[in-house]
Structure 1
Amino acid sequence: MLVAALAVGRFAPSVGLLNGMGDLGPVVDAGQPLARGVALAAGAMTVGHLLLAAVYRPGDCQGAVSPEGYRALHAVRGWALLQVGASLVAALLTVAENTAITPAALLARPALLTADAAAFAPAIGWLATAAGAALVAIGALVALSWRTATGLLVLALAAMTPMTLTTATDADSSHDIVGDAITLHALGALVWLGSAVVVALHLARGGSRPDVVLRRHSFVATVSVLVLAYSGIATLAVTLPAVAVFTTAYGLLVVASAALMLGAALAAIRLRSTLRGRGGALGLLTIEAGLLMAAAGTGIALQRLSPPGQQDYIPTRLVYLIGYDLPDRLTISELALHWRWDVVLGPTAVLAAGGYLAGVRLLVARGGSWPSRRTAAWLAGCMVLLVASSSGIGAYAPAMFSLHMVQHMLLATLVPVLLLLGHAISLLSGLAGPRGRARIESLLDAPALRVVRHPVVALAAVGGTLFALYPTGLYGAILQEHWAHIGMDVAFLGTGLVLYWPVLGRALPDGGLPALGRIVIVFAVMGLHAAFAVWLLAQPSPVAAPFFSSVQLPFVPDLLADQRRGAVMSWILGEVPTVIAVAALVTTWNRSDRGDRSAWQPAGPDGVPDLHPRSALPR
């Protein structure tokens, strides 16, 4: 990776010259890709060691990590700090090559450096990655438990997303798809690389349970291959015309990267058949890791070249603002038929539905049963998630405030309520063995999750997505950034899930809220939505007016009228899920009063989840 980064700095065109500014020399031209390569390598090693501590050789689910996990956490401290330093350097050099100001001059003028860094999304992405890696390093200093190691793994993965979400520029066609696909691609590659290297080191040291570690690494590698294939196809579909595959440097690098990835995948497949042999497995892992490093190097090179599909491309107004063009009309048929696939939430909805159905089928095959109403609720939630993210609603939402509010309420209220009524955690607990079930229960009882699902915290988070986003002007300030759209969608869905979880969830160690508390939360949410809708209706001027004025949709002649339509629709859509939640609570309490224990309790007296045998189901 580092050799490739240096080669890129030596032979790739200078970004300063490409932007019509002066060339700052090798310090910037070679330093920026080198810093990027170091940050990526350090991030991969951080994730790999956390996989060893949390997944491959975990300790007691209620206690400390294993001895090997502790050594891995000790290594995480150094790798995460290296990632922090490299990310900060990458941010500095990114600003330098885009402003033609030397790094020394920028460091001598902190105010100028801060202002310029805030003006370039890639620099902001590197700074956010540095902040996330710093939190991982601090956490690794005090982490001793398996639950903490698991939380640090999630944080480390999240910390690597800002640097890729900010890669695509506003001038790129389909920069919404490209940004998400590159992020998935980078995550898949770095997780696979880090896992391969750390597992190879584990075998070289004579680590314990090599068969278990290799089997779990094989699963991670398989998932990574699927993610890489999906994200690679999504990226190339909009950046690389077929005629440019073998006729451009960009296309040849893509071919080389694909060949290296294929070689690594073949090594991983071969590894699956040699899980019992430590020596042979170590050799295959070394080959796998080497090929992945080379492929990562080609990825660094690709970031310095302009895709053939974007060369000499002049973006339209809508492409620059949202990433794609829209029809000059809006009808019911457009909302129903004008689909634009969401690279992240689209497959999430499909995989969640397929995985749930597979779990129900396995449960039935084991002799259990599962209420059809739960399956129907889960599938409905997945369908609403797909519609809100990828249908005409998702396509028009970035350009219309009214449809943005429709999408907001679907993701924040209806989807969480339907998914929680599917009780997927109870299904997963029923399918897991005793050890898996114990780990699920341990994670559910983790201090961080207890804090997140506390009613006060959850309500504050939901209130923040309403009153801290729109009235403060934050929404208008970030609206043109693609990362903000995926960030808002995830925030809406996440806050909705943590809010309704203690109200509708069953697989909670503390049993969730008492009956009165559940009703209070439901009506508090209704009050929040009503207050926000009233605030929107009372505004004398449109929210984010400069952005929506620039969009200039012909079928939205009055921005204030569109905003008021959005206020009314969000109020209505915000109340529908609360009605569903109240109806579900009343139905559950009625079943409980009739003595149907399975309608309320997720587990029996022995702690084994109730699989709802057929004789216990209501007819």
Structure 2
Amino acid sequence: MVLAAGDVYALLGDSDPGRSAALLFGVLRFVADAAGVVVVGALAFAAFVVPARRGAVLTADAFGATRIAAAAAPVWVLAALGSVPLSAADATGQSPGVVWRNLAALVAATEEPKAWLGVAAVAAVVAVGVRMTLTWSTTVLWFGVALVGLLPPVVVGHVSVGAWHDLATDAMVWHIPAASVWVGALVALRSHLRRRGSADRGQVVRRYHRLTAVCLVVLVLSGAVPGLVLSRGQFSGYAALLLVKVAVCALVVVGRRLLGSRWPLPVELVALGVALGASIGLGHLVPPAFTGRSASVHETILGYGLTAPPTAAGLLSGARPDLLLGLGAVLLAAAYLAGVRVLRRRGHRWAPGRTAAWLAGCAVVVVATSSGVGRYAPGTFSLHMVAHMSLNMFGPVLLVLGGPITLALRTLPPGLRAWLVALTHSRASRLVAHPAVASVVFVASYYLLYFSDLFGAAMPYHWAHQVMNLHFLLSGCVFFWLVIGVDRPPRPLPHLARLGMLFAVMPFHAFFGVILMNSSTVIAETYYRYLSLPWVPDLLADQRLGGAVAWAAGEIPMLVVVIALLRQWAAADRREATRTDRHLDAGRDDRLDAYNAMLADLAGRRH
């Protein structure tokens, strides 16, 4: 693929590091991606495809799949490390020898080498963790970590450049996990069938087909967005490779439907290997979007232009879809409504207030990320703070009042319900949901992000902006889950402790807003100077407005939380009083029974 591509560097005005260096980088990237895919897919196979686990310990079949991941992980580490200097050579046009002598400086100056260094670090952690894992919950944990390890080279690659790169990057965050689970699970399936023969072939193959059917839908839909963005409707070598990927997916779909269980899995494995090779080629070829119209400054940084100042109508109607958090909120709202419908069909009641709270919380996420608010949030600090507070305060308060875990436990099939229980009571969940950890993360994030260089370093990159938004949302959900959540946390707290936990963090939010309003230093000044929005002539005034937003928006949700907590406390007291009255009416008194038991025990000892 690299040899057939010709001189892709001259098209962009870059230097050529040499054909051997480009070829070696292509090979190493293929090996690294293939090994990472096998790790992710094998862990997905162990967690979600093989027959149900027995207790907390992996079954023999699941353990066998984790051994495949354990074998592939060191290959992933070594190939990723080898890709660091070669990606630096590819990005700078210097020979590998020159790059090696200046490796530290080149890695610091370019994005892709840093991405591969991050992949190597994640892969190393997974390699150690998978070798020690014996439980289902830790298998899921390493599966999630490995998924994250696949993303860095993608989100800093072609999809992160030029106009519409925000949509293309979000789409690839869906695309890469779906493709990886499909290909890697197929490798694990082949190994499983050779090891076990045909004893459980039907059940395992059916689960594999259900899993990969979902992956196929996600793969096709998510692949269309970056394909359209980067090809710009022009037929070229880049478009030809895209057609190869589409043809491979079509081949597998048609073959499955026509042949059913007689569809040969080796053919599917070869086809998906071709698709993986095409993906590597797409990462090397120059997309037509790079050789056409030059992107503006705003399109280069944001992915779109901000040509007019925000208005009230524009903030409501000027939508820019967020294919990660915005789409995720829509899918979660649909899943919640489906669960409520299942309960109603069974004749069970679900509180309408919970449904309203959940849908309102999802709506807050959609508005904060996909409306005009989300569109303008990266451009001005004040609107960024509006989106921040919506994702960190308003949305989570409503979401935790919806009781999604309780609804899921009442509607999911037994197998999925057991998975959910295992996840919510795992050691990782207990650590994240520890009151001290949740409180520190919830509060310290503000000060660490905005009062260091982290915010200014992250804002120019769409992927970093999405990581910030995701952190805001998750940290808020965990904190408010412990304080007023309908769902039972791993460590239930008495209402007085919840109130103390809330009062402990409230001053820090107020101080944060006050500090911003009185600050004389512009946060992320270089980033905002690059944007140079004409309707923001005074960056410091806009930042102080953002501080006022943080102060006011932090107080209102806290008041709502206090009211909700006090109502829950009163309701719990009423339930306890009702239970006590019922016991007394039945002639039972737990305290009297305990006292009589103590007297009887003392009398028995004397005799």
Q: TM-score, normalised by structure 2?
A: 0.91
Summarize deviations over 1:54-76 as a string: whole Å, max 9, x none.
Answer: 12226646421111222222222
- Is 1:201 paired with 2:191? yes
CA distance in 2 between counterparts of 1:129 and 1:513 reads 39
Is the Cα–Cα contact under 8 Å of residues 400 and 487 in structure 2 kept in the other structure? no
Deviations 1:194-238 (A, max 9, x none): 112221222232255323322221222121112112212222332
Q: Which amino acid aligns with 2:542?
A: D
- The 8 Å contact of residues 42 and 82 in structure 1, kept in 2 or not, is answered as yes
Aligned-partner residue type, residue 52 of structure 1? F
Give the distance between the partners of 2:514 and 2:257, measured in 1 at CA: 58
> Is 1:228–2:216 an aligned residue pair?
no
The 2-side partners of 1:169 and 1:450 are apart by 37
Matches within 5 A, 1:188-337: 188-206=178-196, 209-242=200-233, 244=234, 247-269=235-257, 273-274=260-261, 280=262, 283-337=263-317
Query: Is 1:545 aligned to 2:533, yes or no?
Result: no
Say if 2:450 is the partner of 1:470.
yes
Query: What pairs with 1:357-368 in structure 2 (closer than 5 Å)?
Result: 357-368=337-348
Q: Give 2:128's aligned amino acid.
A: I
Change in CA separation of 1:533 and 1:76 when aligned onto 2, cut-off 3 Å: same
Question: Could you say if the C-alpha distance between residues 13 and 534 of structure 1 is closer, same or farther in structure 2, counting changes exceeding 3 Å?
Answer: farther
Q: What is the aligned partner in structure 2 of residue 566 from structure 1?
A: 546
Shift of 1:21: 4.4
Question: Post-superposition shift, 1:597?
Answer: 11
Task: Note the C-alpha offset of 1:27.
Answer: 2.7
1:133 aligns with 2:123: yes
Q: What do the CA deviations read for 1:323-354 (whole angstroms, capped 9, x no partner)? A: 21013222101111111111111210111011
1:66-81 equivalences under 5 Å are: 66-81=59-74
CA contact (8 A) 1:61 1:147 kept: no
1:114 is matched with: 104
Query: 2:566 pairs with 573, 580, 586, which one?
Result: 586
Output aligned runs, 1:516-535, within 5 Å.
516-535=496-515
* Aligned amino acid, residue 383 of structure 1: A
- Residues 316 and 115 from structure 1, CA distance in 2 versus in 1: closer, same or farther, beyond 3 angstroms? same
Aligned residues: percent identity?
36
Structure 2 partner of 1:607: none
Whole-Å separation in 2 of the counterparts to 1:584 and 1:423: 14
User: Structure 2 matches for 1:427-466, cutoff 5 A?
Assistant: 427-466=407-446
Structural mapping, 1:37-116, within 5 Å: 37-57=30-50, 60=53, 62-107=55-100, 109=101, 112-116=102-106
The question of 1:159 aligning with 2:149 is answered yes
Contact 1:15 1:29 in 2 (8 A): no
What amino acid sits opposite 1:11 in the alignment? A
CA positional deviation for 1:510: 4.3
Q: Which amino acid aligns with 1:357?
A: L
Cα separation, partners in 2 of 1:343 and 1:596, compared to 1, 3 Å: farther
| Inter-CA distance 258–470: structure 2 relative to 1 (3 Å threshold) | same
Partner SS, residue 575 of structure 2: coil
In terms of mean alpha carbon deviation, does 419-428 or 209-218 score higher? 209-218
| Contact 1:167 1:179 (8 Å CA) reproduced | no
Measured in 1, the distance between the counterparts of 2:489 and 2:152 equals 34
* C-alpha distance in structure 2 between counterparts of 1:587 and 1:209, whole Å: 52
Indicate the larger mover: 208-217 or 462-471. 208-217
Distance apart, 1:388 and its partner CA: 0.6
Which amino acid in structure 2 is aligned with residue 418 of structure 1? L
Larger mean Cα displacement after TM superposition, 518-527 or 207-216 = 207-216
Which deviations, in whole Å up to 9, do the C-alpha atoms of 1:438-493 show, x marking residues without a partner? 33222211111111111221122223321111111111122212221111111111
The alignment partner of 1:251 has SS state of helix
**Alignment pair present for 1:536 and 2:524:** no
Structure 1 residue 52: Cα displacement: 2.5
Change beyond 3 A, Cα 1:366–1:393: same
Cα deviation digits, residues 175-199 of structure 1 (max 9, x gap):
2122222232222111111112221
State the alpha-carbon separation in 2 of the partners of residues 475 and 400 from structure 1.
13
- 8 A Cα contact 1:267 1:285, kept in partner: no
Given the superposition, is the C-alpha separation of residues 353 and 270 from structure 1 closer, same or farther in structure 2, using an over 3 Å criterion?
A: farther
- 1:1-56 CA distance string (max 9 Å, x none): xxxxxxx2212134544443443323311111211111111111111211222122
What secondary structure, in the 3-state scheme, does the structure 2 residue paired with 1:339 have? coil
- Between the aligned partners of 1:417 and 1:240, the Cα distance in structure 2 is 42
Q: 1:26 to 1:537 in 2, by over 3 A?
A: same
**CA displacement at 1:494 relative to structure 2:** 1.5
| Whole-angstrom CA distance in 1 between matches of 2:291 and 2:529 | 28
- Residues 401-452 of structure 1: CA deviation (Å, up to 9, x unaligned): 1111111111111111111111110011111344443332222111111111
Structure 1 residue identity aligned to 2:253: A
Note closer, same or farther for the CA distance 1:309–1:168 as it changes in structure 2 (3 Å cut).
closer
Q: Distance in 2 between matches of 1:177 and 1:540?
A: 35
- CA root-mean-square deviation: 2.2
1:354 and 1:49 map into 2 onto residues whose CA distance is: 30
Report the counterpart of residue 590 of structure 2 in structure 1.
Answer: none
Q: Secondary structure at the residue paired with 2:450? A: coil
Query: Could you tell me which residue of structure 2 aligns to residue 489 of structure 1?
Result: 469
- Cα distance in 2 between the residues matched to 1:170 and 1:287: 33
**Is residue 2:23 matched to residue 1:23?**
no
Instruction: Report SS of the residue matched to 1:43.
Output: helix
Question: Does structure 1 conserve the Cα–Cα contact (< 8 Å) formed by 2:43 and 2:143?
Answer: yes
AA partner of residue 213 (structure 1) = V
Which amino acid in 2 is paired with 1:142? M
Matching residue's letter, 1:219: R
Quote the residue 2:592 is aligned against: none
**Which AA in structure 1 matches 2:389?**
M
Deviation of 1:515 (Å):
0.8
Structure 1 window deviating more from structure 2 (533-542 vs 431-440): it is: 431-440
Q: What amino acid is aligned across from residue 365 of structure 2 in structure 1?
A: L
8 A Cα contact 1:58 1:65, kept in partner:
no
Shift of 1:503: 1.6
576-585 vs 124-133, which moves further: 576-585
**Aligned residue number for residue 168 of structure 1:** 158
* Contact 2:481 2:487 (8 Å CA) reproduced: no
Change (3 A) 1:62 1:500: farther
Question: When the two structures are superposed, what TM-score results if normalisation uses the length of structure 1?
Answer: 0.89
* Alignment check: 8 A CA contact 1:184 1:231 kept: yes
Partner of 1:616: none
2:376 aligned with 1:396: yes
Question: Which stretch of the first structure deviates more once superposed, 35-44 or 206-215?
Answer: 206-215
Q: Retained in 2: the 8 A contact 1:268–1:288?
A: no
After superposition, what is the alpha-carbon deviation per residue over 1:562-590, rounded to whole angstroms, capped at 9, x for unaligned?
A: 00111111222222222222222222222
- Return 5+ residue gaps in structure 1 as ranges: 1-7, 275-279, 600-619
Provide the rounded CA distance (Å) in 2 between the counterparts of 1:27 and 1:462. Answer: 49
Distance 1:124 1:151, change over 3 A: same
Return 5+ residue gaps in structure 2 as ranges. Answer: 580-607
- Check whether the contact 1:444–1:508 (CA below 8 A) recurs between aligned residues: no
Q: Distance in 1 between matches of 2:51 and 2:480?
A: 31
Secondary structure of 1:377's counterpart equals helix
C-alpha separation between the residues in 1 aligned to 2:285 and 2:578? 59
Contact preservation (8 Å) 1:268, 1:285: no
294-303 vs 555-564, which deviates more? 294-303
Whether contact under 8 Å (2:302, 2:460) holds in the other structure is yes
Q: Is the 8 A contact 2:402 2:486 kept in 1?
A: no
Distance 1:96 1:326 in 2: 35
Instruction: Compare 350-359 and 533-542 and name the one that shifted more.
Output: 533-542
For the residue of structure 1 that corresponds to 2:284, the secondary structure is coil
Task: Indicate yes or no: 2:3 matched with 1:10.
Answer: yes
